[in-house]
Amino acid sequence: MDMRLTGKTAVVTGASRGLGLAIVRALSAEGMRVAAVARTTPTELKETGAVVVTADLSTAHGPAEAVERALAELGGIDLLVNNVGGGDSGEGQVGGFLDTTEDVWRQTYDLNLLGTVRATRAALPSLLERGGAVVNISSVGARVPHGGPIAYTTAKAALTAFGKALAEEFGPRGVRVNTVSPGAVRTSLWEAPNGYGAAVAAAHGLELDQFLAGLPAGTGMTTGRFIEPEEVAALVTWLASPHAGSVTGADYVIDGGAIKTV
């Protein structure tokens, strides 16, 4: 299916790896001009042909500066994908509420919520001018906050609510806002030897490979496997397209059937 995105522009945050990189690749393949915002510039990101904007989106000024530079490169923004997020470090993430320090709370909210708030605020004038769209990448943890680090899951819950509120305010002015909430995606968050998955495995006395092999079934994923980044990227691409022109304020769960409630 032609997504009718050729010649349109997009800004994707958190673009250096995992979901962000897959989204950059998918949008570029549809003919979009993409500005990829990331703290680092790995070879894989350079190979996409996207304009790379280096920035630290956890800082107060980083998101606005990144969007300003993207605007200078693209001339306008038709799509903002707020993919930036954190929680793939095991340090301070597996001990529960009383072990979650003030610094972890602050850093987690700065990156997972306020980075998106700031980037969206900076991009909205151009999005309003062009009748654009916003797609925020949240998590199934927003719906089942006990299922992950409390700072991370509650920040994602706030992010999901933020998207709903934006859709209500700016829908009448021509900007669509939607949320995508993935479950366990095959990324470094789970697979890195020093990531969150490794920390959870160690906390349960398991080797990482053993833990990952049992995770889909253990979390109730009826598909029995991890979600691939490309599957999430395909959903983002559709939401960005005119085919989803009447979809706004929605939260699309892509979790392999893990959430059992209606």
Which residues are registered as beta bridge partners of 53? 37
Q: Of these residues, 109, 152, 196, 252, which one is catalytic?
A: 152
Count, residues in the chain: 262
What does the alpha-carbon distance between residue 70 and residue 15 come to, in Å, rounded to a whole number? 13
What does the alpha-carbon distance between residue 190 and residue 200 come to, in Å, rounded to a whole number? 9
Decide if 175 contacts 80 (C-beta within 8 A).
no
Decide if 175 contacts 134 (C-beta within 8 A).
yes
Q: Which helix (H) or strand (E) holds 20?
A: helix 18-29
| One-letter identity of residue 44 | E
CA angle 261, 191, 219 (to 5 degrees): 20
CA-wise closest residue to 182 among 243, 231, 215, 133? 231
Catalytic residue at 252?
Answer: no
79-82 and 9-13 as β-strands: parallel, antiparallel, unpaired? Answer: parallel
Task: Please give the structure tokens belonging to residue 154.
Answer: 């509650």
List active site positions: 152
